[in-house]
């Protein structure tokens, strides 16, 4: 009994920094997820002339897990002719597709639209080995890397739970979170993943919506202001003063007349004469604008305006005015502004904040839990 108590206590207490104790309780998934759970990552649509490489033997299995082919170093096929799913497994880690190596296995899965989906099925923790350094530089302070590992793991778990009936869980791009395969892995970020193995941020026992972005410009946004829907109690707008040390804390762009006219042509107002900000969210981000042209005017939401202008508008925390050389846009921050600011996390870690303090600042009222083995 005494030994059991010690085991439970060591499981609940992850680490102690002075008087700052991080309590991590067990998390029992409703779907019996384990730390070894595999995540399905969409890599793209397969081309007709497809080649999979590996250092050693490649095994190809059909939908019934029957071995249908064994090859050395490479397998090529016309993916467009595939009528049923197959999967590739290598005896040495690292299946290569288009010059990138991936852990786990690669699935080819035909869909109802005549496409063949290329999916990397990889253990969750090994997936994070690539995600964390794809999202933030591996040279960042250790506590910032741990914070990112927990953010990325929690995000991934929510997607796994919500995508049980879909072909894949996440994409390999920033549409989900960046994932670049084995070449991006780094010992420092791999260690951060291992040091936080299985740890999630939860609210009322559910993995939270763990949104994150590059730089908040000094204050984060609430998700309802960006995507609509209801407010989330753990995602209130908070000050993020350490963003000042990061890229794109302040930025400006000048767009000439032709660029503005071309980019906003879908509004049907003719040559753009001025753009006025009509309202802002409580965090200072643009909510509604009026675009005035020679042939009319159009009101447009800030998010839509940013989508039309693309990378020229790095965040919705901006102002715009017409000048002689074009339209001057000055702003603060980069990304949607919801949840953890990665540059804010960097700044906090540089000031010796722990990963737990970083995460609790951006997601208030959350708890930490570890996926049970």
The per-residue DSSP string of 231-289 comes to: --TT----B-GGGGGSTTSEEEEEE-HHHHHHHTGGG---SEEEEEEEEE-TTS-EEEE
Domain shared by 129 and 226, yes or no:
yes
From residue 185, give the alpha-carbon distance in Å to each of 22, 100, 120, 142, 235: 27, 12, 16, 15, 30
8 in any annotated domain: no
State which H helix or E strand residue 225 sits in: helix 223-227
Q: Which residue segment(s) compose the domain that 115 sits in?
A: 39-122
Domain shared by 293 and 215, yes or no:
no
pLDDT at 18: 37
pLDDT at 299: 97
Per the CB < 8 A criterion, the answer to whether 219 and 240 are in contact is yes
How many independent structural domains does the chain possess? 3
130 in any annotated domain: yes
pLDDT at 14: 43
pLDDT at 15: 42
14 in any annotated domain: no
pLDDT at 33: 66
CATH number, domain containing residue 55: 2.60.40
Domain shared by 166 and 95, yes or no:
no
Domain shared by 118 and 146, yes or no:
no
pLDDT at 36: 59
pLDDT under 50: residue ranges of the chain: 1-19
Domain shared by 236 and 169, yes or no:
yes
1 in any annotated domain: no
pLDDT at 30: 64
205 in any annotated domain: yes
pLDDT at 4: 47
Residue 197 tokens read as 């193995």
pLDDT at 265: 96
Domain shared by 202 and 275, yes or no:
no
State which H helix or E strand residue 292 sits in: strand 286-293
**pTM summary value:** 0.89
């Amino acid at each position: 009994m005494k030994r059991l108590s010690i085991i439970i206590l060591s499981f609940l207490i992850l680490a102690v920094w002075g008087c700052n104790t991080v309590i991590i309780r067990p998390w029992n998934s409703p779907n019996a997820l384990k730390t070894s759970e595999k995540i399905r990552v969409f890599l793209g649509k397969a081309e007709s002339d497809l080649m999979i490489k590996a250092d050693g033997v490649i095994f190809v299995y059909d939908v019934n897990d029957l071995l249908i082919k064994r090859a050395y170093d490479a397998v090529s096929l016309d993916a467009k002719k595939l009528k049923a799913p197959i999967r590739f497994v290598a005896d040495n880690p690292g299946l290569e597709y288009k010059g990138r190596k991936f852990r786990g296995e690669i699935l080819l899965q035909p869909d109802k639209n005549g496409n063949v989906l290329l999916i990397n099925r990889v253990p969750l923790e090994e997936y994070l080995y690539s995600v964390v350094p794809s999202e933030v530089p591996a040279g960042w302070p250790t506590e910032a890397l741990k914070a990112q590992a927990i953010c990325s793991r929690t995000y991934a778990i929510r997607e796994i739970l919500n995508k049980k009936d879909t072909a894949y869980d996440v994409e390999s791009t920033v549409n989900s979170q960046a994932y670049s395969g084995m070449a991006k892995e780094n010992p420092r970020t791999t260690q951060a993943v291992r040091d936080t193995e299985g740890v999630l941020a939860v609210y009322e026992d559910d993995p939270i919506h763990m949104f994150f972005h590059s730089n908040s410009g000094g204050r984060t946004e609430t998700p309802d202001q960006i995507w609509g829907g209801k407010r989330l109690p753990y995602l209130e707008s908070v000050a993020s003063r350490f963003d000042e040390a990061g890229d794109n804390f302040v930025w400006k762009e000048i767009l000439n007349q032709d660029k503005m006219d071309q980019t906003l042509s879908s509004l049907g107002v003719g040559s753009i004469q001025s753009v006025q900000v009509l309202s802002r969210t409580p965090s200072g981000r643009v909510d509604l604008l009026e675009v005035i042209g020679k042939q009319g005017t159009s009101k447009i939401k800030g998010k839509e305006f940013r989508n039309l202008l693309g990378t020229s508008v790095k965040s919705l925390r901006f102002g715009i005015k017409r000048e002689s050389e074009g339209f001057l846009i000055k702003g603060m921050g980069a990304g949607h502004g919801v949840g953890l600011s990665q540059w804010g996390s960097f700044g906090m870690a540089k000031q010796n904040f722990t990963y737990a303090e970083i995460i609790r600042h951006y997601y208030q009222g959350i708890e930490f839990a570890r996926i049970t083995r």
